[in-house]
Amino acid sequence: FLEKHPPMVADVERSIVLDMGPASRQDQLVQDTAAVMRLLETALVLNNEKGSSTRELEKLKVRNEKLEAEVLKLEG
């Protein structure tokens, strides 16, 4: 992916960053780092939820099979 879409900074962003003073750069870096951490936390939660959803789906499949067997038994 990165070979086709290398990371790059838009000229406007580059200009903004270079015009910032050291304190402003530090504040912005802290805010950006916090945003990345929130993004990673969200990804972790969603990955855990996927596993939970898969387990729930398997439980429902087993329950459905039992109910189908019971219906067949009652019909027969």
Residues in CB range of 9: below 8 A, 6 or more apart = 17
**Per-residue pLDDT tens digits for 6-56:** 999 999 999 999 999 999 999 999 999 999 999 999 999 888 876 677 788
Residues in CB range of 20: below 8 A, 6 or more apart = 28
* Mean pLDDT value of segment 56-60: 88
**Domain assignments of the chain as residue spans, ordered by start:** 11-75
Is a pLDDT exceeding 80 seen at residue 69?
yes
Identify the CA nearest to 51 among candidates 59, 40, 63: 59
Q: Which DSSP string corresponds to 14-62? A: HHHHHHS-HHHHHHHHHHHHHHHHHHHHHHHHHHHHHHHHHHHHHHHHH
